[in-house]
Chains A and B, each alone.
Chain A
């Protein structure tokens, strides 16, 4: 059974940092591109970042470029999102998702982890 389990969310002050993790199981993690998608309270879905299956290519939404870093450890079947210089507008539920066909179509999602940015 495919599972994606996010962790690392919580309360952080503006300007602070946080690292999210996404533990994958039930499939060959190293064969799939992985993405982070977020959803602010009461708002729509927003792409945050993407990483290729071998980690060689990464993409960032303009809203997080220069502040967030996506990475993966295929030996640990884990996806990461290092978030820095956090702002109020970064507050959201962060989902990791498996890109099954390389086009940004996600067949599996995690349950999400909430990041709250507040002083």
Chain B
């Protein structure tokens, strides 16, 4: 199973928005509404920010939103704050493959 493709980096100034893409195939992102997004600060475990494409777990600010179009999912962080600077990973369910889970390559978000 090939990793989902994310841009290596993205950046924005405080208060601005940044959008991260996650491109897969019709066998994963495009085939299921099971895309998740994780935030990871250095030395910490990942934290779930979005699941099932656009749902936010309790406690996640509504500045974080998710969407999907075809084989590409997106995470948008609005009103960027300093604490949003982190690595972000998407993941997708991939059905009845031998190993039906796949992560994205990861995106480093920098708050300028």
Contact = CB atoms under 8 A, between A and B. Distances in A.
A101 B106 contact: no
A109 B46 contact: yes
Given A44-B3, A103-B34, A50 B45 contact: no
A52 B47 CA distance: 22
B51 A101 contact: yes
A105 B36 contact: yes
Interface size class of A (residues with CB under 8 A): 20 to 34
Contacts of B92: 104
Contacts of A107: 48, 51, 57
B106 A59 contact: no
Interface in B10-65: 32, 34, 36, 38, 40, 45-48, 51-52, 57
Nearest to B6: A44
Contacts of A104: 34, 36, 91-93, 100-101
A82 B36 CA distance: 28
Contacts of B52: 101, 103, 105
A118 to B, nearest CB: 21
Which 7 A-B residue pairings sit nearest by Cβ, starting from the closest? A103-B34, A104-B101, A109-B45, A44-B106, A103-B93, A105-B51, A105-B36
Nearest to B89: A45
A59 B103 contact: no
